[in-house]
Amino acid sequence: MSLSMYQASAPVFQRMLRNLKTLLQKAEAHAEARKFDAANLLNFRLYPDMFPLTRQVQIATDAAKGAMARLAGVDIPSWEDVETTLPELIARIDKALAYVESFRPEQIDGSEDRAITVQLRSGPLHFTGQEFLLSFALPNLFFHVTTAYNILRHNGVEIGKRDYLG
Amino acid sequence: MSLSMYQASAPVFQRMLRNLKTLLQKAEAHAEARKFDAANLLNFRLYPDMFPLTRQVQIATDAAKGAMARLAGVDIPSWEDVETTLPELIARIDKALAYVESFRPEQIDGSEDRAITVQLRSGPLHFTGQEFLLSFALPNLFFHVTTAYNILRHNGVEIGKRDYLG
């Protein structure tokens, strides 16, 4: 009895992407109720050299997309970062959800020892599939969903831990 | 070939706790260099009804401690929330690291189907060991480490994603 690589990746990504979608839907309702431009949220950063909400959502979806592709050993589809509204960001989450759902467990299972290289600006990082999932892909996904949550909370959107956990 | 419950929990908790420790050490150096009271960071909240940095660190350590105990089926040790300085919070992280390290893989492996109940203010949550780890313990730990990171970044402490990922 043990965890499979699929179980430790796809359903976790799906849950967090769905929760991120809920956060954005609540942000949209909040902006409508208060009659302010949702772009005020989308462009908000917790510090001048941090990414704004829009990028947090784009990177969260990229983290899920890249992790599935790398674990399965297929090319990572490239998605342009063109979203400028909450409905567009929600559509991007739906696209990421559909992409994660397109993988079958047998494409991911057995990827524990697959050699995975991630190119960062600072240079390449080399992982086994298991290291990649546990020390890069999951921490990264959770980071960007939590930071989106913190940006929205900081701006008074009425969301709670329960929305984050799902 | 597959992931074990131990591999998907203890080393992940250890890495994130060590990274959290690095974040706090950098916060300490920052407060000293700028000659301000580190309590200004410890009491900072991203929103009035969010937890301040101190609680984020306490909850992150509790998340790791509670997860290990629940997966192993042992009583969760109770730690008083008494820390009021960065060195005390760093000592609490060290205590949590030692606690996680005290478990042997065979105490955690095979806990996929263990029945785990978490008592929340809103009522009890019932999980299998695998659900608990993937949909509660890990998301919770990452949430509080990331929120600690965001509080420090928001306050100008010079930390980066690399410190978070380790």
Question: What does each C-alpha distance from B77 to B54, B80, B95 come to in angstroms?
Answer: 19, 10, 11
Total of domains in chain A: 1
A79-121: per-residue pLDDT in tens? Answer: 999 999 999 999 999 999 999 999 999 999 999 999 999 998 8
> In the A/B pair of chains, how many CB contacts fall below 8 A?
103
Specify if A2 maps to a domain: no
Record the pTM: 0.97
Mutation pick from A22, A127, A150 vs chain B, by most beta carbons of B within 10 Å, is A150
Specify if A111 maps to a domain: yes
Statement: residue B1 has pLDDT above 80: no
Specify if A6 maps to a domain: no
Please answer whether residues B142 and A139 qualify as being in contact, where contact means their C-beta atoms are separated by less than 8 angstroms: yes
Residue of A nearest to B108 (CA): A2
Task: Establish if A159 touches chain B: CB-CB under 8 angstroms.
Answer: no
Residue tagged 């409905």 (tokens): A87
Contact A150 B153 (CB under 8 A): no
Question: What does each C-alpha distance from A158 to A51, B50, B66, B123, B149 come to in angstroms?
Answer: 22, 11, 28, 21, 22
Task: Establish if B50 touches chain A: CB-CB under 8 angstroms.
Answer: yes
Give CA–CA dist B100/B65, Å, rounded. 7
Q: What ipTM was predicted for this assembly?
A: 0.97
Q: Which domain holds residue B81?
A: 17-165
Specify if B46 maps to a domain: yes
Partners of A55 on chain B (C-beta within 8 Å) are: none
Q: Residue A55's domain is classified under what CATH number?
A: 1.20.120.450
B75-115: per-residue pLDDT in tens? Answer: 999 999 999 999 999 999 999 999 999 999 999 999 999 99
Specify if B7 maps to a domain: no
d(CA A6, nearest CA chain B) in Å: 10
Specify if A10 maps to a domain: no
Mutation pick from B142, B152, B154 vs chain A, by most beta carbons of A within 10 Å, is B142
Specify if B23 maps to a domain: yes
A133 Cβ contact list (under 8 Å, min separation 6): A5, A8, A9, A67, A71
Q: In b/e form, how buried is each residue of A122-152, taking b as 16+ CB within 10 angstroms?
A: eeeeebebbbbbbbbbbbbbbbbbbbbbbbb
Task: Establish if A109 touches chain B: CB-CB under 8 angstroms.
Answer: yes
Specify if A27 maps to a domain: yes
Task: Establish if A131 touches chain B: CB-CB under 8 angstroms.
Answer: no
